[in-house]
A and B are shown apart, each in its own frame.
Chain A
Amino acid sequence: MTISNKTKAFLGSSIVPLLLVIVWQYVASSGYVASFILPSPNQIIKTFVTNFVEKEYALHIAASLKRVLIGFLIGTVSGFSFGLLMGLSRTAEKIFGPFFNVIRQVPIIGFIPLIIMWFGVTELPRIIIITVAAFYPVTLNTFAGIRNVPKEYFELSSVYGYKGLKLIRRIVIPAALPSITTGITLALGMSWAMLMAAELFIQTYFGIGTRIQLGRDKFNMALVIVGIITVGALGFFMTTIVEQLAKALDRGKIIRKET
């Protein structure tokens, strides 16, 4: 019997989670640890089912998804524009570069008290946090991608009279695309990470982070773990979509050639 490479990869990637569940089940049922501290996988599955049967859980997921998507999109678009500007113009880099490089050293969480003071406990500050989280990696990778466009391409372009917008659209952006898509994939991961911070630090009724908070307050670790798994699965799902999109955009297989 032959096993396809895909099946092999799937089996290989399930070894670690499977072992984890086995050890976990063993420890939880051994009686050494109280069940409110470490609920057994069994309890998790039960909580999972009851949660997903409730309509409300879908609303929590929807609220979180909406936050991530809006923040991620605004952050990506503005990060791309800003990276493009700094990548194309040495003057822009001189003006904005140093300030950008200083401010991005501060973890976004450090700004949360300020953001709350300015915008209140509303949806806006949560989205701002996620936007900023997505903005940094897209800016940096767009900038680097543009600066690494081989000078030979520019020479070729001037021979054929490509300049201005045509040069940017037809040469600079396609050449920088692998780096830009890396930035966007990183941005998505950062968006999910900062979603949790945004929901935990800025109280809201709807959100997966809220559910995790609720689990903590009620000493219901099963609820916390269900929240974690939900975030992990959604994050993984969205990252896969973005990666597939990047692959589809990668004409001529530049990315795969490099790896």
Chain B
Amino acid sequence: MSVAKGTLEIRNLSKSYVVDNNPLQILKNINITFPAGAFVSILGSSGCGKTTLLRIMLGLETSYEGDALIDGEKIEGPGSNRGIVFQDHRLLPWLTVGENVAFGLDKLNRKTKKLLVDEHLKLVGLSGFEGAYPAQLSGGMAQRVAIARALANKPEILLLDEPLGALDALTRMYMQKELERLWEFEKITMIMVTHDVDEAIYLSDKIIIMSSRPGIINKIINIPSSRPRDRASSEFMQIKAEILNEFHLGSEYPFAYAI
């Protein structure tokens, strides 16, 4: 029996920095399991350590207490089993779109490389753009290229660090649909850090709500409802109200109850 790959576990994880000779705790006793193939969002206001947590999962941050495990093995550093999409697209301006997508495919021969680049540009709807330079793309297009670059490596887990944070509201909603489509197509684990409540509800199977100083897990909300989700449904609104309450932003009479 084959076990689905792409399970990420965080066990009793704590992390602190030393600031002016005083230890500053960033993350405190974090326990999360990201099941293989699930879409999980980490939601929190700025300063809750969610980006640090993502850096740990990525392998860029290696000094902490506790464990970070992928399929039961300790994360020792960055690896091709994880892809990352940053908030800024971080495409290299001197490389074409095609060369940017091939950035992590150095070890492959030219033919395989081209095949993977074509496949993933098509997947994000940018076939025919491989010769363009990043400066010629819009924000949404650039972010699609960044997603294609991350997926071209065939990761088991895709980490998304506020991937749509720099886009305008409409492009953002459109890209949320696209992310959902890609997730359903690739069947890999996606872990997204965001501070957009709607985005988290729209995309996630599970939302992890964190609070700041030190970063702890406040609540984990499972969202069983079917996809694609209707942003205007009462169920959606109820979940939103529940989440906003966690941030003390809930209205006294959320309209979902007032109907």
Give the contacting residue for A253; candidates B84, B95, B104, B133; CB below 8 A.
B133
Tell me the bound Cα distance from A160 to B99 in angstroms: 14
Residue in A155, A158, A159, A251 whose CB lies within 8 Å of B94 = A251
A152–B146 Cα distance when bound, in Å, is 14
Q: When the two chains form their complex, are residues A156 and B94 in contact, meaning their CB atoms are under 8 A apart?
A: no
> Are A251 and B60 interface neighbours, CB within 8 A?
no
> Of B60, B92, B135, which one neighbours A159 at CB under 8 angstroms?
B60
Q: Smallest CB–CB gap between B35 and chain A, Å?
A: 24
A174 at the interface (CB under 8 A from B): yes
A177 to B95, CA, bound (A): 13
Closest Cβ–Cβ distance, residue A246 to chain B (whole Å): 13
Q: Which residue of B is nearest A250, CB measured?
A: B94
A17 neighbours in B (Cβ, 8 Å): none
**Are A160 and B94 within 8 A (Cβ)?**
no
A161: chain B residues within 8 A (beta carbon): 78, 80, 104
- A159 and B84 contact, CB distance less than 8 A: yes
Tell whether, in the assembled complex, residue A254 and residue B78 are in contact, meaning their CB atoms are under 8 Å apart.
no
Enumerate chain A residues within 8 angstroms of B80, measured Cβ to Cβ.
161
Of B84, B86, B135, the residue contacting A257 (CB under 8 A) is B135
Please encode chain A, from 134 to 175, with 1 for each CB lying within 8 Å of some chain B CB and 0 for all others.
Answer: 000000000000000000110110111100000000010011
- Interchain CB contact (< 8 A) of A152 among B58, B90, B104: B90
In the complex, the answer to whether A159 meets B88 with C-beta atoms within 8 Å is no
A252 and B135 contact, Cβ closer than 8 Å, known pairs A156-B90, A158-B60, A161-B78: yes
Chain B hits for A159, CB < 8 A = 58, 60, 78, 84
- Are A160 and B104 in contact, with the CB atoms below 8 A? yes
**Is the Cβ of B92 less than 8 Å from the Cβ of A160?**
no
A252-B60 in contact (CB<8A): no
Q: Considering the chains assembled together, what is the distance between the CA atoms of A171 and B94 in angstroms?
A: 10
- Would you give the shortest CB distance from B135 to chain A, in whole angstroms? 5
Instruction: Give the most central of A159, A174, A175, A253: most B CB within 10 Å.
Output: A159
Q: What is the CA–CA distance of A254 and B94 in the complex, to the nearest angstrom?
A: 7
> Do B86 and A152 have beta carbons less than 8 Å apart?
yes
Chain B positions within 8 Å of A156 at CB level:
86, 90, 92
Would you give the shortest CB distance from A182 to chain B, in whole angstroms? Answer: 16
Partner of A174, one of B60, B88, B90, B92: B92
Complex CA distance for A257 and B90, rounded to whole angstroms: 16
Report B104-144 residues with CB < 8 Å from chain A CB: 104, 133-135
| Given contact pairs A252-B134, A253-B135, A160 touches B93 in the complex (Cβ within 8 A) | no
* C-alpha spacing A222/B86, complex, angstroms: 65
Which one of A155, A158, A252 contacts B95 once the chains associate, using CB atoms below 8 Å?
Answer: A252
Asked if B78 and A153 make an inter-chain contact with CB atoms under 8 angstroms apart, the answer reads no
Contact with A along B74-102 (1 / 0, CB 8 A): 00001010001010101011111000000
- A159-209: which residues lie under 8 A (CB-CB) from chain B? 159-161, 171, 174-175, 177
Complex contacts, B60 vs chain A, CB 8 Å: 155, 158-159
- CB–CB B93/A254 < 8 A: yes
CB distance from B90 to the nearest CB of A (A): 5
> Are A152 and B88 in contact, with the CB atoms below 8 A?
yes
In this assembly, does B183 line the interface, its C-beta being within 8 Å of a C-beta of chain A? Answer: no
Task: Kindly provide the distance from the CB of B148 to the nearest chain A CB, expressed in whole angstroms.
Answer: 14
Contact (Cβ within 8 A) B133 A153 = no
Q: Is the CB of B133 within 8 A of A252?
A: yes
Give the Cβ gap from B77 to chain A, nearest Cβ, in Å: 8
- Residue pair A177, B135 in contact (C-beta under 8 Å): no
The answer to whether A251 and B104 touch (CB under 8 A), given A152-B88, A158-B60, is no
Give residues in A with beta carbon < 8 Å to B.
Answer: 152-153, 155-156, 158-161, 171, 174-175, 177, 250-254, 257
26 A–B contacts, CB within 8 A, in A order: A153-B90, A153-B92, A156-B86, A158-B60, A158-B78, A159-B58, A159-B60, A159-B78, A160-B103, A160-B104, A161-B80, A161-B104, A174-B92, A175-B94, A177-B94, A251-B96, A251-B133, A252-B92, A252-B94, A252-B134, A252-B135, A253-B133, A254-B94, A254-B135, A257-B93, A257-B135
| Residues of chain B at the chain A interface (Cβ within 8 Å) | 58, 60, 78, 80, 84, 86, 88, 90, 92-96, 103-104, 133-135
Known: A156-B90, A171-B92, A257-B135. 8 other contacts (CB 8 A): A159-B60, A161-B80, A175-B92, A252-B93, A252-B95, A252-B133, A252-B134, A254-B94
